[in-house]
């Protein structure tokens, strides 16, 4: 949710949020405490306008060019063009396959970050 307007928000589910957290972590711009908070709902982790801008720019400039509209980024930050078939992986060794962020969702997240005045994660 944007810090300046409760009516400006971006919805995320756990399946695309976890890779987004890993992407943000890879930028090395957020402290470890905030990264931990981002992994749980209702913690209220806040990002300043400057942090939001940096996240949005880096996703736009570094991540989206690697994806193209038909690819998605997995939890380990690898890229696949294999579509998500909706399979729910329960085996501990395959659980990572449940999480991915599509080009479209990351583009929306990048645009949200760039338009926001900072944001808070709920």
If you ran DSSP here, which 8-state letter would residue 5 be given? Answer: -
pTM: 0.89
Are 43 and 37 within 8 A, CB to CB?
yes
- Our count of domains for the chain comes to 1
pLDDT at 5 over 90: no
Considering the domain boundaries, does residue 92 fall inside one?
Answer: yes
Residues 6+ apart with CB under 8 A from 22: 75, 76, 77
Considering the domain boundaries, does residue 28 fall inside one?
Answer: yes
Considering the domain boundaries, does residue 68 fall inside one?
Answer: yes
- For residue 7, the model assigns a pLDDT of 75
- For residue 106, the model assigns a pLDDT of 97
21-75 pLDDT, tens digit per residue, is: 999 999 999 888 888 888 776 677 889 999 999 999 999 999 999 998 889 999 9
- For residue 1, the model assigns a pLDDT of 78
Considering the domain boundaries, does residue 89 fall inside one?
Answer: yes
Considering the domain boundaries, does residue 6 fall inside one?
Answer: no
- For residue 42, the model assigns a pLDDT of 63
Residue 21 sits in which domain range? 14-120
DSSP 48-104: -HHHHHHHHHHIIIIIHHHH-TT-EEETTS-EE-SPP------STTTGGGG-EEEHH
Considering the domain boundaries, does residue 8 fall inside one?
Answer: no
Considering the domain boundaries, does residue 75 fall inside one?
Answer: yes
Considering the domain boundaries, does residue 59 fall inside one?
Answer: yes
104-121 pLDDT, tens digit per residue, is: 999 999 999 999 999 988
């Amino acid at each position: 949710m944007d810090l300046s307007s409760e009516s400006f928000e971006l919805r995320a589910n756990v399946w695309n949020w976890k890779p987004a957290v890993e992407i943000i972590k890879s930028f090395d711009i957020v402290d470890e405490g905030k990264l931990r908070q981002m992994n749980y709902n209702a913690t209220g982790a806040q990002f300043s306008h400057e942090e939001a801008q940096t996240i949005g720019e880096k996703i736009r400039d570094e991540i989206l060019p690697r994806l193209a509209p038909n690819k998605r980024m997995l939890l380990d930050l690898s890229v696949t063009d294999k579509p998500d078939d909706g399979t729910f992986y329960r085996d501990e060794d395959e659980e990572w396959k449940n999480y991915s962020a599509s080009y479209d969702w990351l583009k929306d997240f990048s645009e949200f970050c760039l338009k926001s005045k900072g944001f808070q994660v709920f």
